[in-house]
Amino acid sequence: MKHLIIHSICSVLSVAFLFVSGVLIAQDESVFSGDSLVDEPFLDQWTATVWGQHRSNTLDNKWTNILFRGGLIERDLVESALGNQKAEMGAFGLSAGSILKWSSNRFWKDTDVRICGSIQGRSLVDARWTPELFELVFTGNQNHLGRRDVLDGSQLRTTLWGTATVGLEGQNSNRIELGLAYRKSKIEGQIHTGYFRVNAGVDSLYAVLQAEGSIDTRAGWGLALNGEWHFTREEAPFALHVHVQNWGWVVVPGGGARYAVDTLFETTGLALDGPGWSLESLQSAGFVQDYLDIDTAGVTLQRLPGRCDVAIEYPLGPRSGWDVTLQMGEWMPLPRVMMGYRRAFGKQWQAGIQGVVGGWGRFRPAAWVRWRVPNERALTLFVEDPWGWGSSSAFGRGLTLRFEGL
């Protein structure tokens, strides 16, 4: 499963890197040839964005490197992670992808409406776990005798999908798009109810486990909806922007493996070793398989991990202002809130600093800078948790690069 996740993420980032590289090369060539994509009669504006970010409230960057690249997990790392997690649910999220948005230069018939569209590819990973499950996986059950371990809510989800949409754009760049969605793969597992207890004398056991999982390797097809609404008025003291992305469903053909466990263990006189009910047999390979139901999933209708962004811009003067953004959905355990200050420097440069909270992690800083050539192009670089790029003790890092043809 780890190799499938890494392969999916690398595939998306590779396509995004090649695309953005091609756009940058095309723009450099236009300086010498006097011709560029935005000068074509069909396209008016377009934006190419590529991003990658991961975040956790428990696992630092050193943990992340070990999980994805391999290495030795030392005991002090485990204890540090448990200290970070405390009594909360642990969380880890990874998002990567690229998107191209465009709008035509021509109006549709005799109206003020333009044709617009977008093409995108995304990869998403969401993992959550209880402190008890984390200890059982990385330290064993030595310190768990006499305790009631709770595993409820632990889960892992990963998916890879893309969309191609076409729509209409009106005034203030308000737009709505509808198109095809292609979901390549999805892995999902969740513990709905899970707890167990072995008493201090190691002579009784009580455990309950209700869980399910599935692996969909067959591609699913469906519909996706994207939309934008912008409220901008000269007489209003603020601007409001609403973005809806990837709201839709895909039909997945049957054939994927599906797993389910729904059982209860209860016994007294539990022996340390030997055949039958004993601590040795409970920890032996294949014990759980006797209680595991495996079948083949039928045709299913599955919802895409859509997201809604609401942003408010409040000017403090002609060259500065406050920005607040709320992001909901896309498997995030908590809504993500970004709030910060921006300022313009001359006619070509803008920069800002932000504080980010929610999503898969706790509070972290962010910074961005934008270089703009009026009526030609603009380049924006957004860095989430800048210190995370040089520190193994940070809890994530993120990078977004946006190139616009104006």
Residue 39 inside a domain? The answer is: yes
Question: Judging by beta carbons within 10 Å of its beta carbon (0-12, 13-18, 19+), is residue 182 exposed, middle or buried?
Answer: middle
Residue 257 inside a domain? The answer is: yes
Question: What is the band of 37 on the pLDDT scale with cuts at 50, 70, 90?
Answer: very low
Question: What is the band of 11 on the pLDDT scale with cuts at 50, 70, 90?
Answer: very low
Q: Tokens standing for 25?
A: 């090369």
Number of H helices and number of E strands within the chain? 5, 19
Residue 114 inside a domain? The answer is: yes
Q: Which domain holds residue 395?
A: 2-401
Residue 106 inside a domain? The answer is: yes
Average pLDDT, the chain: 85
HSE-CB for 99 with a 13 A CA cutoff: 20
Per mean pLDDT, which range of 201-210, 300-309, 349-358 is the poorest? 201-210
**CA angle in degrees (0–180, nearest 5) for 181-398-358:** 85
Q: What is the pLDDT of residues 147-171, one digit of tens each?
A: 888 999 999 999 999 999 999 999 8
Instruction: Identify the pLDDT of residue 289.
Output: 66
Question: What is the band of 32 on the pLDDT scale with cuts at 50, 70, 90?
Answer: very low
| Tokens 């993992």 -> residue | 127
Instruction: Identify the pLDDT of residue 288.
Output: 62
Q: What is the pTM of this model?
A: 0.83
Instruction: Identify the pLDDT of residue 287.
Output: 59
Residue 140 inside a domain? The answer is: yes
Instruction: Identify the pLDDT of residue 275.
Output: 62
Residue 349 inside a domain? The answer is: yes
Q: What is the pLDDT of residues 83-106, one digit of tens each?
A: 999 889 999 999 999 999 999 988
Query: Length of the chain, please?
Result: 406
pLDDT at 68 > cutoff 80: yes
**Distance between CA 192 and CA 5 in Å, rounded?**
23
Annotate 183-239 with three-state secondary structure.
Answer: EEEEEEEEEEEEEEEECCCCCEEEEEEEEEEEEECCCEEEEEEEEEEEECCCCCCCE
Residue 307 inside a domain? The answer is: yes
Q: Report the domain count for the chain.
A: 1
Residue 406 inside a domain? The answer is: no
Question: What is the band of 22 on the pLDDT scale with cuts at 50, 70, 90?
Answer: very low
